[in-house]
Amino acid sequence: MAILIVVNDPALWPFHVPNVEVIDARSYLTRPEFSVMRRAKVFNLCRSYRYQTAGYYVSLLAEARGHKPLPSVTAIQDMKSQAIVRLVSEELDELIQKSLAPIQSKRFALSIYFGRNLAKRYRRLALNLFNQFPAPLLRAQFVRDKRWQLRSLTAIPASEVPESHRDFVVQTATEHFAGRGGRVRRRVRARYDLAILCNSGDPEPPSDEKALARFVKAAESVGLAAQFVARDDYARLAEFDALFIRETTAVNHFTYRFSRRAATEGLVVIDDPESIVKCANKVYLAELLARHKVPIPHTLVVHRDNVAAVADEIGLPCVLKEPDSSFSLGVTKVETPEELCAEMKRLLARSDLVVAQEFLPTTFDWRIGILDGRPLFACKYFMARRHWQIINHKAHGSHRYGTWETIPVELAPGRAVRVALKAANLIGSGLYGVDVKQSGDRFYVIEVNDNPNVEAGVEDAVLKGELYRRVMSFFLRRIEQRKAWAAGYE
C-alpha cells in the first residue's frame, strides 16, 4: 500500500522519511493518478484543516477515494468542536493535572508528533490526545484557572517544527508507518489490511499465541496483511480495512471503544459493537432468548421486589448471575435459603437486576462456534475436577480447568447445533460461541458469547488450519462487499 504525505509545499518539507512519497495538496486533489489509486494511506500534513481549505479537501477526497486519511474528516471536525474538546478535557482530567502539575505558568502548549512528545513526562498525555484526535502533527493548548484545562487543538505546520525536534519527528513518523506491532512478512501481495487487537498480558485470552499466529498465516493466504495492535494503537484504526478483537470484551472497556471507532470508520469488525452490547448482559440475553422461544433453563430476572420468589419459582440449588459476568466469574451456585439471601443482597448492591436460573447438573457443556450464521466448530467443555463449572477460579494448576473434546460439527447432536444457530442469529452474523447444556434429550442455551475462545489444539482440533482460513475468508468477503457497495454496486 502506498504511503503518501500530503503538504502544501514539498519545498518547505524539512524531513526525510524513508519509504514514503511527499506530494503537494494540489497534486493530490487534481492529478488523475491519485484519484484512481486503489490503495493508499494519506497523512495529511497541510498547514490548516479549516473548512474548504486544501487541507480539509485532502482528507475529504481521500475518504471518497477509499484511501485512509490521517486525520479523517471526523477527527478534523472533532478538533474544531469546543464541546468535544471540553468533554475530552474532563475525561483526561486526572492525567492532565498529573502531567502538567510542575508547570508554573498559566498557559502551556504540547507538541504531539504521531502520538508522542520528546519529554517522557508528557508521553502518556500526548498518546491519549492523539488517540482522541488522530492527526500527525498536533498542538494542544492548555490554560490554568485553578485547574488545567484543554483549550484547543490545531495542526502544526511542518515549517514550525523546531530544528531540535526534527530528528525525533522523523523517528516517530518512521515507527508509525512501520506499525508498532510489526507487519507480517508477505509472500503474496496483500489486498487489504487487518488489525488484530490482542494483549499478551490478558490472563484469560480468547486466543493463545499459536492460534494468533495461525490467524495471521490464514490472513496472508487469502490476501490480508494482518498486524497486531494494542490498546495504545487506537488512533491507527482508520489505517485498516478490518478489526479482529482477540481480547476479552466488555461494554465499559476500551475494547468496546475500539469496536465503536472501527465501525464508525467503516471497518469490518469482529466483535462488532452491537454484538458486544447484546452478549455482555445476561439480563438482555434472558429476555431475548425467552421472547423468541429459544429453550433456556427456567429463568427469573430478579429485583428487590421479587427476591422472595426465587426459591419457590426456581428452586434450590439455583445459579445466580451478575448481568455482565464472563469466564464464569460473577456466576455462583446457592444451595440453601441462607446462601440465597446473602448472595442476592451482595448482587443487588451492584446491579438493580440479577439473573436466577435453575441448576442443571451436567458433566460437560456444549460450545457451538457460529460464524456468519453457520456452525464452525463443536466442543465439549468438561467441568473442572470436583466443580460444577468448566473453570474453578479457586483452584490452581491443572485442576483449574476441565478437559475438552472437539468433534466434527456434523457429529454433534443436531438439536444442540440448531438451538445454538437460532440463538446466535438473534445477535448478528459475526463470530459467536454458544453454550448449550444437554439434560436428557433436551438442549438448553445458557448464553451466547461474542468473543469465543479459539485456541490451538482445542477449538481447531478438527478443522485445524481450515478454521482460521474460514474466519479470514469472512473478513475478505465482507471487506469486498463494502468496497463494492461504496462503489455503487449491490
Say if residue 62 is in the same domain as residue 89.
Answer: no
Peptide bond into 317 cis (omega under 30): yes
In a domain, 278, yes or no: no
Q: Sorting pLDDT into bands at 50, 70 and 90, what band is 183?
A: very low
Maximum separation of any 2 CA atoms in the chain, in Å: 81
In a domain, 195, yes or no: yes
Query: 255 near 240, Cβ under 8 Å?
Result: no
In a domain, 20, yes or no: yes
- pLDDT of 486 over the 80 cut: no
Cα gap 167→269, rounded to integer Å: 36
Backbone φ, ψ for residue 486 (5° rounding): -65, -30
Q: Sorting pLDDT into bands at 50, 70 and 90, what band is 180?
A: low
Calculate the average pLDDT of the chain.
91
Q: Which domain holds residue 70?
A: 2-76
Which of 41, 58, 76 is where one domain is finished?
A: 76
In a domain, 437, yes or no: no
In a domain, 134, yes or no: yes
Say if residue 24 is in the same domain as residue 71.
Answer: yes
Say if residue 194 is in the same domain as residue 136.
Answer: no
Say if residue 20 is in the same domain as residue 85.
Answer: no
Query: 390 near 384, Cβ under 8 Å?
Result: yes
Say if residue 22 is in the same domain as residue 85.
Answer: no
Query: pLDDT at position 398, please?
Result: 63
Structural domains of the chain, count = 4
Cα gap 300→174, rounded to integer Å: 56
Tell me, what CATH number does 242's domain have? 3.40.50.20
Which of 358, 391, 407 is where one domain is finished?
A: 358
Tell me, what CATH number does 331's domain have? 3.30.1490.20
Q: Sorting pLDDT into bands at 50, 70 and 90, what band is 96?
A: very high
In a domain, 431, yes or no: no
Say if residue 94 is in the same domain as residue 156.
Answer: yes
Provide the whole-model pTM.
Answer: 0.82
Say if residue 91 is in the same domain as residue 68.
Answer: no
Tell me, what CATH number does 87's domain have? 3.30.470
Encode burial over 383-396: b for 16+ CB neighbours within 10 A, e otherwise: bbeebbbbbbeeee
The number of CA neighbours under 13 Å toward the Cβ of 460 is 22
Query: pLDDT at position 187, please?
Result: 45
In a domain, 216, yes or no: yes
Cα gap 199→253, rounded to integer Å: 14
Say if residue 83 is in the same domain as residue 166.
Answer: yes
